[in-house]
Amino acid sequence: MNEWGIPDWRDETQYHSLKRGVSFNRWRWEFNRRRPEIREAFLDIEENDRRFFGEDDFRYRDRAPRGTPGHYVYVSCSPDVHEFLGYHWRLPDPSVSNHPEELLEPFPINYSQIYSSPMDFTSTLDALEPYLRKLDEEEVEHLERRYRHTVPMEVGQYRAVISFDLKKSVSELLREAEHFLKFVQKYEVGETPPTKRKQPMKWLAYLRTLDAREVGASWSEIAAIHPNTAQTPQTARDIWKAANALRNNF
C-alpha cells in the first residue's frame, strides 16, 4: 500500500476484496479516491480546517483518526465545491478504501440550499405556486433561490416530479436528478432499490491499470496484466485511457 492506500498492482490478490458484493457507491469511491484533484482537495480542506478550528475542536474529536475507516473532512458550503467534489458536507479520506457505506453516499448538489427541512421535498404548495397565480419578480426569485435547479413535487404515494434547468447540459441534469431521486427513495421507501446495472468486471482491471501507471509501470508491464487482449503497449494505453475517463467521470 502506498501513502494513499493503493494496492500493489503487481499482486492481483490485493484486489480480491472488490470482486463481489461491492455497491455502486463503493465502486464510485474507488475511482474517485484515485483522482489527484480529490486528494489535493482533501489535503487543502484538512489543513484549512485544522488551522481554523484547532485539533481539539469537536469536529475532530468525534470522528475516526486520519487513515482509518470513517475519517473525513468538512466540505465548504459552496455550490461550486460540491459540484466539483460530488460530495456534500463530508469528503471521505481518499487514503481509505473501506469507509462505511453511509459516508460514501453522494448527496444532491446544493443539497443544503434545496431543502430547508427534511420534509420540504414532499410539499407541493411552493413548487406549484408559479402555476397557480401570477407572482411578482421578488417572489419568483425567492422560489428560485430556495429550490435552485431542482423542484421536487409530491404527486402521489412513492412518486416525485423534478423540473430541469434547460440551460445546463443533459449529462449534468441527469447526474443531479439521479442524486436527488436516490435520496428521496431512501427517505420515502426506506431503501434504494437494487440497480439492474451489472458491475463490469473490467472495472477491477481499470483500477489495477491506474495504480500501475501511477507508480510508473511501463506500457509493456501493464499490457501483461490483461491476458484477454493483444497485450501490446498500444492496448495498454487504450485501456488506461478508458480507465482514466471513467475515473474522471464515474
Q: Give residue-wise pLDDT tens across range 196-233.
A: 455 577 899 999 999 999 999 999 999 999 999 999 99
pLDDT 10s digits, 80-89? 677 777 777 7
Q: pLDDT band for 149, please (50, 70, 90 cuts).
A: very low
Higher pLDDT, 23 or 123: 23
**Closest residue by Cα to residue 161 from 122, 215, 198, 189:** 122
Can you read off the three cell numbers belonging to residue 191? Answer: 431503501
Residue that wins the pLDDT comparison between 102 and 141: 102
Q: How far apart are CA 104 and CA 100, in angstroms?
A: 7
Q: Please report, for residues 69, 96, 123, 194, 224, the alpha-carbon distance to residue 29 in angstroms, rounded to integers and kept in the order given.
A: 13, 10, 33, 18, 26
Tell whether the model's pLDDT for residue 192 goes beyond 60. no
Enumerate the β-bridge partners of residue 73.
91
| Average pLDDT score over residue span 32-37 | 94
The answer on pLDDT for 6 being more than 90 is yes
Comparing C-alpha atoms, which of 198, 180, 179, 182 is closest to residue 190?
182
The whole-model pTM stands at 0.66
Once rounded to an integer, what is the mean pLDDT over residues 153-182? 71
Neighbouring residues of 16: CB distance < 8 A, sequence distance ≥ 6:
none
Strands (DSSP E) contained in the chain are: 72-74, 90-92, 152-154, 160-162
Mean pLDDT computed over 10-18: 92
Which phi and psi angles does 44 have, rounded to 5°?
-65, -45
> What is the overall mean pLDDT for the chain?
76
pLDDT tens profile 170-182 = 888 788 777 777 7
What are the Cα distances from residue 19, in Å, to 22, 27, 66, 172, 180?
7, 11, 26, 30, 29
pLDDT attached to residue 33: 96
pLDDT for res 161: 66
Question: Whole-angstrom distance between the N-terminal and C-terminal Cα of the chain?
Answer: 23
Res 73: pLDDT = 87
